Every structure is written in structure tokens, then in C-alpha cells.
């Protein structure tokens, strides 16, 4: 059972990133208060990376014990270590290098020059094994119950590196897969699958700009996940669409906030 979508709209993309960062601090603080640690799945893309940068500006950011946060990725561009286009590289530059994380709790997906060489299938299998090892009995599966899974959304409705009508979107068993011939460069990636994403406690889809309005409207309007993979990204307890006004222009009326 997953949670029906909720929509929160901010005036512009900067406010979207800042408000999401503040919301994330609160979510991590609450998770740590409840169980001593917190887990977050990071996303690549402009919006996701902007949220990480904005986290540094959140006055209460150090209410989070960053050494007790488990960091995962929803997807990774399959590139060499330190490549500027890797989501890990961008996340380290935006946030992880600036707060006191526990390096052993930062779970990056293998690079293309890592221990599995340039085989993305082996890198995907290794990450699936890592997730299974991190899962506890109460998670009821081979993926930890991530406190929050951050996801971006593409113009054609992709999320993570799960693209419309792609082999990844049809995956029902594996939790992590290699993605080849990706329409968004670079072509080779490693990605969580929708079944893995749906093990999250909360899924936050964050996107802005007019170019995303159609995909957002279709996802919230009932499109299937094969056509709009972001529509299949739902959390066990909460599914939150965090938008700016430009991306929300076509959101179905049922999601419009009550008039003040």
C-alpha cells in the first residue's frame, strides 16, 4: 500500500529548493529523534543538487547529526571516480564535503573505473547487495525503509534513471539495474527500480520549470508508470510533489490548494 500524492507549490525554483531543504532538515531531525538515525536517497539533476546546496543555508541544519545519516543514491551516471557529472561528485561538492558525515555511511554507487570496471550490471548487483545488507527485519524486504527518497522528474516523465517504456520501468523483481542508451546523457547509468523506490517511507518528487508541467500533470492525472515513470514513485507513508509555480500550471484541480 502506498500513499496518494500530495502537492506543495512554491513561487519559484529558488524558493522550491530552499523550502525543500528546510523540510528535509526537519524530516531528518524527526527520524533521528524517533530511531537514532536517518536515511536519505539523493537525486541528481539541477533541482536535487540545488536542494543540497540550500541545506547549507538552513539555520537549523546542525540540528541534524550528520554523522548518523545514511546517504544513498537513487541513480548514478556510470562515469569514472570524481567525474564532475557524477551525482556523487555533485552531492559531495554541494553538501557532503561541508557537513560532518560519517564516510562509512555514504553509500555511493560504483564508478566505471571502480572494482567492477566498466560493467554497470555488476555495479548494479553490488548496490542491490548493499541495500539488502542494510535492510533490517522490520523493513520486510531487501531494501532499507528509506526515511525520504528525493527524486527529480524529467520532461518526458522519467525519474531516477527510469525512462518511459524502458526495460527499467518494467522491472518488478530487482531493486537496482543498469540502464543503457539513456535518452538523457550520459547514456549508461545505474538506477534504483520503482519497487525499490516504493519501499521508502516518504518519496519526494521535486521539479520546477514550465518544461515539466506536462509530465507533472500526467503523473498526477492518472498516467501509468510505463508512460510516466514518476507516476510510479510513491512512498509507503507519504508521496509529496514539491513544485514551483511554472511546473504546477497544469496540475489537476483536485490537487490545487484551497483558496486562502
Binding site for ligand 6PG (CB under 6 A): 43-48, 75, 77, 87, 152-154, 158-160, 184, 207
CB of 155 to ligand 6PG, least distance (A): 8
Give the contacts of 6 (CB within 8 A, at least 6 positions apart). 238, 239, 240, 241, 255
Burial class (CB in 10 A: 0-12, 13-18, 19+), 57: exposed
The CB-of-4 to ligand 6PG minimum distance in angstroms stands at: 22
Nearer to ligand 6PG, 32 or 227 (CB): 227
Q: Which CB atom, from 68 or from 114, has the smaller least distance to ligand 6PG?
A: 114
Q: Phi first, then psi: what are they for 153, rounded to 5°?
A: -135, 130
Q: Name the minimum Å distance from CB 93 to ligand 6PG.
A: 15
CB of 35 to ligand 6PG, least distance (A): 27
Nearer to ligand 6PG (CB atom), residue 89 or residue 201: 89
Our CB check for ligand 6PG shows the closer of 68 and 180 to be 180
C-alpha distances out from residue 34 to 140, 181, 198, Å: 19, 42, 21
Residue number closest to ligand 6PG, CB atom: 152
Residue number with CB closer to ligand 6PG (67 or 167)? 167
Give whichever of 120 and 154 is closer to ligand 6PG, judged by the CB atom: 154
Least CB distance from residue 259 to ligand 6PG, whole Å? 29
| Residues 188 and 207: beta-carbon distance below 8 Å | no
The minimum distance between CB 184 and ligand 6PG, in angstroms, equals 6
Amino acid at each position: 500500500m502506498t500513499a496518494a500524492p500530495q502537492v506543495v507549490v512554491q513561487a519559484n525554483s529558488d524558493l522550491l529548493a530552499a523550502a525543500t531543504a528546510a523540510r528535509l532538515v526537519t524530516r531528518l531531525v524527526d527520524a533521528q529523534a524517533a530511531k537514532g538515525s536517518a536515511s536519505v536517497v539523493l537525486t541528481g539533476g539541477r533541482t536535487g543538487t540545488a536542494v543540497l546546496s540550500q541545506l547549507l543555508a538552513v539555520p537549523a541544519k546542525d540540528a541534524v547529526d550528520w554523522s548518523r545519516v545514511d546517504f544513498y543514491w537513487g541513480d548514478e551516471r556510470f562515469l569514472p571516480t570524481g567525474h564532475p557529472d557524477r551525482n556523487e561528485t555533485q552531492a559531495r561538492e554541494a553538501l557532503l564535503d561541508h557537513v560532518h558525515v560519517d564516510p562509512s555511511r555514504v553509500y555511493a554507487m560504483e564508478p566505471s573505473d571502480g572494482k567492477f570496471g566498466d560493467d554497470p550490471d555488476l555495479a548494479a548487483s553490488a548496490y542491490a547487495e548493499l541495500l539488502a545488507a542494510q535492510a533490517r527485519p522490520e523493513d520486510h524486504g531487501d531494501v532499507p525503509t528509506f526515511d525520504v527518497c528525493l527524486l527529480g522528474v524529467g520532461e518526458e516523465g522519467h525519474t531516477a534513471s527510469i525512462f518511459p517504456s524502458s526495460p527499467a520501468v518494467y522491472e518488478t523483481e530487482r531493486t537496482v539495474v543498469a540502464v543503457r542508451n539513456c535518452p538523457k546523457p550520459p547514456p549508461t547509468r545505474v538506477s534504483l527500480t520503482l519497487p525499490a523506490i516504493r519501499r521508502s517511507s516518504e518519496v519526494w518528487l521535486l521539479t520546477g520549470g514550465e518544461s515539466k508541467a506536462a509530465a507533472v500533470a500526467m503523473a498526477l492525472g492518472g498516467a501509468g508508470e510505463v508512460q510516466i515513470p514518476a507516476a510510479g514513485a510513491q512512498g509507503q507513508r507519504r508521496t509529496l510533489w514539491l513544485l514551483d509555480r511554472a511546473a504546477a500550471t497544469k496540475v489537476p484541480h483536485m490537487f490545487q490548494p484551497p483558496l486562502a
